[in-house]
Structure 1
């Protein structure tokens, strides 16, 4: 969070600019064995008001991960005199908030815990560390603590760990090293306090190693987090003068094996709440790129390094902070982040302060980035009473109603004439119930939905319905307003359905538990070998399914706890779940998902090197080198590749003609570089300027005159 003098509104800075469906080719033998789980579509109620314009499909066997105890979080700040009000802890607990971040955004980099001071900033009375931990305990949450990097030392951080976990026995697990340190001016924009003479990412990496060593010497169980920039958002890709790489690559190259998680912030700079809702489509690709970076630099350690989104808000500029669009944004963004591998999403913030007052959808928006009112005024207009919940609070509370820690997130999707105005998220609860969240993001149009289920059959009872819609006094019980197979969604509304399974069906009937988390033990250009911890119970066999939207494709099965998947395309990305089948034929719950990318062939007759040489968040320059290492001369060549993200596109090029159609890119030689000599006799180099609306992952496979080349990183 940008530097504040007290509870100030975030200044806009930088740009936040997706993930394409993967077309999967499998062998004929696997295609014959392919299985799609049976569809269950409960009948719609006879008195449905209108034909459905949307179909929502939920696949209870397509796992997206487990909801953790820290999934829903909030930021607190030492300049907030209301942060430890007893009512605040009660509201946190009611919403299911399980993580509280302290001492507050950019204040963290000038805050000294031992005397509760922040030289140059205001610290409210009663906001010291022990008082904060009282609120943490009353909430039943876990703290996420930010060690002072800007004006602190590794020793000061280690002393804080000793006080927290040895002296007081608080058991504080998660510790970030600094806040938005890349905002220290090294890239031309500075808001973060950093008193180091050397403000480069190299210096930050050196200090992270020192902090981690000192803090873990006191308590080896603490988990240390390093600050990254969010891919596709300023200053991602920027390289400062004298540096050899951008922030993320420099930091991770040095500390990937020393840390336990990375911390990113996400503020889509969109201008209003509706556009912020639309921007959530970029989030899966951006988070996938974070994981790609961890895979690259942490290697075998990558699986143990978590991703935390420790600040999020819409950054909507023109308003829509306290009004309904931002409540929907909170539910949509947090759900999407959790489904894409984030273990905690922490809203910025609890109390903040009134900003520009506007009217959004007929209600007053106070321009306040807090989830609760602090009673401040702006332009003669005052907020409601202190601790009155704003719309984002209800968005987060809806997620608390949808799931509990330990529940499994599962795939869901929408289709129909409503377009992107309706979206959905789902969880398979620990007791076998299915929770479905339905969002109507239209400010004025009511939408009707048909609900269909894969791997789950609902019983005949009407589901429990909880709803937050215009006119509702918060999140209300609306049981009786929807059926298992149909619902009508009011404009700007969130609806949670909780359905019971029909006896003897689905994973609740299985006598085996979910398999453990799968991992790759070998990945080649056309195959991958996976292994996983055994499921509890008497297993007949394990089945590996690939996620294709809300459908599953059987890729392989095994009576043991490993399998090799053959005939995969080179450079292709796959997300799979492992399920156990018991002796009676029932499938278990899915494992957590595993995503892997096949390599390119080592024995190819061509090689391609692809490098991003500079970037600025929403644009970049790439350099490509092509070599012919085969025995035959090539006179005239065509190179093709696909962008991994829908937001990537070429705008200009040199030394070759580069054209694009959708995500497919076609490159042909120029007048003077048509010949590629055999056996690596020469290379051809070309480049281009391109744009990225969101993440900017590198292409995974290049084809030269029909031959898949070996990609050189």
Structure 2
């Protein structure tokens, strides 16, 4: 449908849901990227759904009607939905007034997944969380208040360039460049994580074995690390990842899927020979159909790629493949890894950096759900947890202030809803210029940044564990997540208001399947929205006919708690 760029539009639709489905109206651009969406919360009677959206630079949009779209907690089923009177028009003043009103239904009678407290973790980079950092009482206080439940060591990419026995890099001319005695070693990290009450998760150096032409040495190094931690020191480190992002062309040494799978088998055998109680994590793309660009290249050709930077490396890969002529289809990463190393792996590791500046896709965790289903199908009878050991906004979005806070809170809720059990936000603190906007805590001042407020708000609300329950809303400018906690005696609801309209948003909240009284509320906001100075304040919720009413400031995050009567 044709639209004018830079304008605000209204899309509406009358829906009658005859079969208990979850119909949805979705507006996308011509490349199928979601602009706005809203789920129908009406029942078997006719009800109208509408949304207001900005066209941005779009001259055409797709007006999509899903008669049987399903949320995560409602699985696909046959049924019938009637639709009528679809409208698309420019928004007026009365439409903006309507945008300030939102209705959210929390249905505690429809339980979803269990919340694993280990979702609330972060990456501790060995060269950033150094001796000076670990002695900082401000940093310690913030981590305790978060609370931090899982810490990943020695970090992400740098793990494949790190030797644990010496705290030195395999190649100090490559990231992270810094090494030496003032960085955090294994004993210092374990003392720190224990003092914080955090479970450790370690990343074994895989790629240095290929770079050095001695994979056996890399396997021995990993097995020795298990022996040191769990036999000699009694640390009981349970979770061990094999390598970091080896499925990407731009790593220190990119691997073919079969190479990686065979390495996982060998690492697992050697490491579990030392301690059979440990759990081995195999990593791969969040898309189960993904593959590495180096598929089809031999070892000599991959070695020749290493001096090239990422973009130049891709061009060189294309050049090599062109000289080879017709090639067989590349091995898909996860199917190959599961076929070869399925018996050796105990959890699946994925990374996800969300590319938009606000959560517009309510199915952000769909690829994770697909991976869980794939693992259940290929490894029947086994429960393979999903570990999201790096996640954040995309590095090119450069979101800051309340925008970053809302995005991180919403991503956390959607990943939990999608089935992620373990997660470590990347990074706790960062290294390098112009990267601080993605930190949880400022590296120089140890001041909390926008992401921290989202992580701590969601962590304080849900890190004790609980059961996710179904929520639905009638405005795309709001987001909601809820769970039963404290042995189902407490219902905790997280809501975001993603509008900058003056006066904020009035939310009417209906609780189904839970008889309770309002206990407490917190509101997190910033003024202006781009400010990193997030303010937390008490929030009241007043009883109204049919539920509760709460007023949310522009670009704000609310945490509401209700206690069972």
Same fold (TM over 0.5): yes
> Following superposition of structure 1 onto structure 2, how do residues 220-619 of structure 1 map, counting pairs within 5 Å?
220-231=276-287, 235=291, 240=296, 244-270=330-356, 273-274=357-358, 277-279=359-361, 281-301=362-382, 304-320=383-399, 322-353=400-431, 355-356=433-434, 368-375=437-444, 386-415=445-474, 419-431=475-487, 432-444=489-501, 446-459=504-517, 462-471=518-527, 474=534, 476-480=536-540, 485-502=548-565
Measure, in 1, the Cα distance between the counterparts of 2:189 and 2:345.
25
Higher helix fraction: Structure 1 or Structure 2? 2
How has the CA–CA distance of structure 1 residues 367 and 317 changed in structure 2, closer, same or farther, with 3 Å as cutoff?
A: farther
Answer whether contact 1:226 1:262 (CA < 8 A) is retained. yes
Deviation at 1:17, TM superposition (A): 7.7
Structure 1 residue 193 and structure 2 residue 252: aligned? yes
Larger radius of gyration: 1
**d(CA) in 2 for partners of 1:297, 1:123:** 41
The alpha-carbon deviation at position 257 of structure 1 amounts to: 2.0
After superposition, where does 1:641-656 map in structure 2 within 5 Å? none
Cα distance in 2, alignment partners of residues 316 and 233 from structure 1: 23
Distance 1:473-1:437 versus aligned 2 partners, 3 A rule: same
Decide whether the 8 Å contact of 2:436 with 2:442 is kept in 1: no
8 A contact 2:148–2:198 mirrored in 1? yes
Q: Residue 412 of structure 1 aligns to a residue in which SS?
A: strand
Partner of 2:178: 122
How far is the alpha carbon of 1:319 from its aligned partner? 1.8
CA distance, structure 1, for counterparts of residue 391 and residue 354 of structure 2: 9
Instruction: Deviation per CA, 1:535-592: give whole Å up to 9, x if none.
Output: xxxxxxxxxxxxxxxxxxxxxxxxxxxxxxxxxxxxxxxxxxxxxxxxxxxxxxxxxx
- Which residue in the other structure is 1:582 paired with? none
Change (3 A) 1:51 1:346: closer
Equivalent position SS for 2:134: coil
State how far apart, in whole Å, the 2-side matches of 1:239 and 1:397 are.
41
Q: Mean Cα displacement is larger for which, 479-488 or 388-397? A: 479-488
CA 1:447–1:435: 2 relative to 1, 3 Å: same
8 A Cα contact 1:353 1:368, kept in partner: no
Q: 1:387 to 1:299 in 2, by over 3 A?
A: same
* C-alpha distance in 1 between matches for 2:246 and 2:76: 39
- Please give the root-mean-square deviation of Cα atoms over the aligned residues, in Å: 2.9
Decide whether aligned partners of structure 1 residues 257 and 17 sit closer, same or farther in structure 2, where only a CA change above 3 A counts: farther
Aligned equivalent of 2:77, options 21, 24, 33:
24
SS at match of 2:148: coil
Structure 1 pair 205/422, CA: closer, same or farther in 2 (3 Å)? same
Distance 1:204 1:424, change over 3 A: same
CA distance in 1, matches of 2:397, 2:436: 8
Secondary structure of 1:89's aligned partner: helix
CA distance 1:238–1:54, change in 2 (3 Å): farther
Per-residue displacement from partner, 1:605-662 (whole Å, max 9, x unpaired)?
xxxxxxxxxxxxxxxxxxxxxxxxxxxxxxxxxxxxxxxxxxxxxxxxxxxxxxxxxx
The Cα of 1:244 is off from its aligned counterpart by: 4.9
- Offset at 1:291? 1.2
1:200/1:243 contact within 8 Å kept: no
Question: TM-score, normalising length from structure 1?
Answer: 0.56
Q: Which residue of 2 aligns with 1:644?
A: none
TM (norm. structure 2) is: 0.70
Alpha-carbon shift at residue 299 of structure 1 (Å): 2.1
Q: Secondary structure at the match of 1:409?
A: strand
Contact 2:110 2:470 in 1 (8 A): yes
Distance 2:263 2:184 in 1: 27
Aligned to 1:587: none
The alpha-carbon deviation at position 20 of structure 1 amounts to: 3.5
**How many Å separate the matches in 1 of 2:245 and 2:450?**
26
Q: Which residue of the partner structure matches residue 54 of structure 2?
A: none
Per the alignment, residue 202 of structure 1 pairs with 258
Shift in alpha-carbon separation, 1:215–1:485, aligned structure 2, 3 A: same
Q: Distance in 1 between matches of 2:437 and 2:534?
A: 19
Written as runs of structure 1 = structure 2, the 5 A alignment for 1:70-149 is 70-80=118-128, 81=130, 83-86=133-136, 87-119=138-170, 120=172, 121-123=177-179, 125-149=182-206
SS in structure 2 opposite 1:259? coil
Offset of residue 474 of structure 1: 4.7
Distance change in 2, residues 1:323/1:479 (3 Å): closer
Aligned CA distance change for structure 1 residues 252 and 497 (closer, same or farther; 3 Å): same
**Residue matched to 1:682:** none
For residues 144-195 of structure 1, give each alpha carbon's deviation from its aligned partner in whole angstroms, at most 9, with x where no partner exists: 1101111142221111111111111111111100000012x3xxxx2x2239
Paired residue secondary structure (1:371): coil
Q: Secondary structure at the match of 1:368?
A: helix
Q: Is contact 1:265–1:310 with CA below 8 Å preserved after alignment?
A: yes
Deviation of 1:200 after TM superposition, in Å, equals 1.5
